[in-house]
Structure 1
Amino acid sequence: MTPGPAAEGPREDTPLLEVRGVTKAFGSGRRRLTALDGVDIEVGRGTTLGLVGESGCGKSTLARVLLGLERPDAGTVRFDGTDPFALRGKELLAWRRRVQMVFQDPFASLNARMSAADLIGEPWRTHRDVVPGAGAREKRIRELLDLVGLRTGDAHRYPNEFSGGQRQRIGIARALALDPDLVVCDEPVSALDLSVQAQVLNVLSDLRTRLGVTYVFISHDLSVVRHISDRVTVMYLGKVVEHGATDEVFETPRHPYTEALMSAAPVLHPGGGSRREEIQLRGEVPSPFDIPSGCRFRTRCPRAEERCANEAPPVAARGTADGGEPHTALCHFPLAAGSSWA
């Protein structure tokens, strides 16, 4: 990996990314929209964090903060021990190499008038010292095409000559061109057919193993998140409502909102039959301009009591069998293992 700006000696066992209490709002007065409200996340080196939630929950805003495209109103972001929002000039440019993006639409994110080689090498126009010399760049493009499962002969083809899955592989190769430590994937397979989704997910998983890259993987597709993620963070109206190891969150969700999401996922027992009875949430997601008092999920939660309207819920933490990071839920009445509110 290409080294970034020097931090104060972060240890290998410290998280690559730490977000604490991040808040981000847009507008003012009655038209003030709080997209993120006290968000905490942590991403270990070489791991994948899945970020899930309904549209409007703040996933994309959080992604923009992680990429340095939005400055948080409050809270801290630490990347490898460094505050990226305190960097300027060459230090900031060096940091930007370390955080890259794979976009949702593999066609819209690629310039149709550029060849695959030009698209993959596009980041080097800004970061000229990463791969100096035309010969070195051509070699590196061939290596990147091979890494994502494309042929070296594809270098001079244009986006309209590729399938959707192949175009997304080009997008992945472009994201890897600067040897990043962290790649933010924003719904990277949602525009692809199911069979192609599996191929692209396998490419991402293989690259993580081979290169040690870290992912923040944003998706509304729970089966995709479960396939690729080590840990899962569930968001609702700008808040993190549950976080834990992937299997624990899927098998024993603690927040009623997570329980409802998991019940809707098409998971089958080996012998047939649905794993859970689907839980139908009542009502619509409240407007982010008029967030409910207390627990913001209470207007849709059958377990809600008067306390839920008057008090913000605490973080309920449960230890894990392996002694790792606790499984947490933002709820007055978190579900116990094996229970349900359906």
Structure 2
Amino acid sequence: MPDPSRTTTAAPGPRTQGPDGHPPLLEVRGVTKTFGSGRRRLTALDGVDLRLGRGETLGLVGESGCGKSTLARVLLGLERPDAGTVRYDGVDPFALRGKELLAWRRRVQMVFQDPFASLNARMSAAELIGEPWRTHRDVVPDARAREKRIRELLSLVGLRDSDAHRHPNEFSGGQRQRIGIARALALDPDVIVCDEPVSALDLSVQAQVLNVLSELQSRLGVAYVFISHDLSVVRYISDRVTVMYLGKVIEHGATEDVFEQPRHPYTAALMSAAPVLDTSRSGEDREIRLHGEIPSPFDIPSGCRFRTRCPRAEDRCAAEAPQAVVRDGAGGGDAHTALCHFPLQAGTAWA
């Protein structure tokens, strides 16, 4: 049974302060985004809340079509939400215009999934890294200063000065992604949105790129929103994890809380399907197999949107949308929330 002194039910929403007591760098509240109209109306995001502190990494996970990429476009200011708010240091980027908007765009940059497609094959590494300065001319206005800064950025991501004049076809996949990271750093951003940045790379190269990102964060204090379907990668690099399903945040908490004690049945199923490298744990937990297909985002189930695939579902799940059940994080850390009528408890069985 849950400890009533530690568990409450409340509408989901990020705190106005992080667990370190400081205001969040990025705060999203109730963001909704739909596409189309009438019966062909698709709800990509439905009341999404999240926050990101300075110098931390928020992992964003969920199956394809859950809304991760749409949320990334909202965070980058490329899609305007239909409802809800987005704040960077208290500033609404969608209220900015002209020079103010241009200055804000320096603060949020992107590392793309495919290092082969995201770099112009006709440009050298130096041209690719310095490309943002064509728009933001005042960041490094002097040509000599630009050359120096490019060498610094190459060094930061583990490349050599001599690589500056090489073209993308002369680099490996991991080296190309390092160029993409250097380009994202060229404007000294506060936040970098990483959309599946290592999924196109071999396993050993993934580890190298992840280490580069971690070292840069330690050195520069940059924050990451890290989108991935690879749970082992998310666990390695993230401070906190947000789990999405059909456009809604269904679980959120500190990384170890979510991985060690998932509270939403969907999260538990994801965790059970992840490969286990520790052979001593092989067979310790059985894989949870979900039945049925993901519902169409054009026809989201009533009540709990996961109920059509959840063996724990009851009549209440169809009739009533769940609110977030909040539990203190391990050791008094960040709150651990699950959007479920019957959240899993530590030590209890799935069914």
Category of TM-score, reference length = shorter chain: over 0.9
Cα distance, 1:275 vs structure 2: 4.3
Q: Output one character per residue of 1:99-143: Cα deviation in whole Å (capped at 9) or x when no partner.
A: 000000001000000000000000000000000111000000000
User: Residues 268, 162 of structure 1: CA spacing in aligned structure 2 closer, same or farther, 3 A cutoff?
Assistant: closer
Q: Which residue of 2 aligns with 1:282?
A: 291
- Secondary structure of the 1:242 match is strand
User: Residues 250, 321 of structure 1: CA spacing in aligned structure 2 closer, same or farther, 3 A cutoff?
Assistant: closer
Contact kept, 8 Å, 1:267 with 1:274, in 2: the verdict is: no
Q: Which residue of 1 aligns with 2:160?
A: 151
Worse-matched range after superposition: 11-20 or 98-107: 11-20
> Aligned pair 1:245/2:261, yes or no?
no
Cα distance, 1:321 vs structure 2: 3.2
Residue from 102, 122, 125 that aligns with 1:113:
122
Residue from 233, 249, 266 that aligns with 2:242:
233
Q: Output one character per residue of 1:205-261: Cα deviation in whole Å (capped at 9) or x when no partner.
A: 000000000000000000000000000000000000000000010000000000000
> Aligned pair 1:324/2:325, yes or no?
no
Q: Output one character per residue of 1:303-340: Cα deviation in whole Å (capped at 9) or x when no partner.
A: 00000000001100001233232100000000001223
Q: Which residue of 1 aligns with 2:274?
A: 265
Distance in 1, matches of 2:281 and 2:80, equals 48
Distance in 2, matches of 1:283 and 1:63, equals 28
- Secondary structure of the 1:37 match is strand
Q: Which residue of 1 aligns with 2:180?
A: 171
Contact kept, 8 Å, 2:26 with 2:86, in 1: the verdict is: yes
Residue from 297, 307, 311 that aligns with 2:316:
307
Identical pairs, percent: 83
> Aligned pair 1:127/2:136, yes or no?
yes
Residue from 13, 24, 41 that aligns with 2:22:
13
Cα distance, 1:300 vs structure 2: 0.1
Worse-matched range after superposition: 62-71 or 260-269: 260-269
Matched AA of 1:287 = S
Matched AA of 1:251 = E
Distance in 2, matches of 1:318 and 1:192, equals 37
Q: Which residue of 2 aligns with 1:7?
A: none
Distance in 1, matches of 2:284 and 2:23, equals 37
Q: Which residue of 1 aligns with 2:204?
A: 195
- Secondary structure of the 2:252 match is strand
Worse-matched range after superposition: 331-340 or 46-55: 331-340
- Secondary structure of the 1:91 match is helix
Q: CA RMSD in A?
A: 1.2
- Secondary structure of the 2:162 match is helix
Cα distance, 1:12 vs structure 2: 8.4
Identify unmatched segments of 5+ residues in structure 1: 1-10
Residue from 75, 78, 81 that aligns with 1:69:
78
Distance in 1, matches of 2:320 and 2:21, equals 39
Contact kept, 8 Å, 2:35 with 2:41, in 1: the verdict is: yes
Contact kept, 8 Å, 1:16 with 1:79, in 2: the verdict is: yes
Matched AA of 2:233 = V
Matched AA of 2:171 = F
Distance in 2, matches of 1:218 and 1:140, equals 28
Identify unmatched segments of 5+ residues in structure 2: 1-19
Contact kept, 8 Å, 2:302 with 2:319, in 1: the verdict is: yes
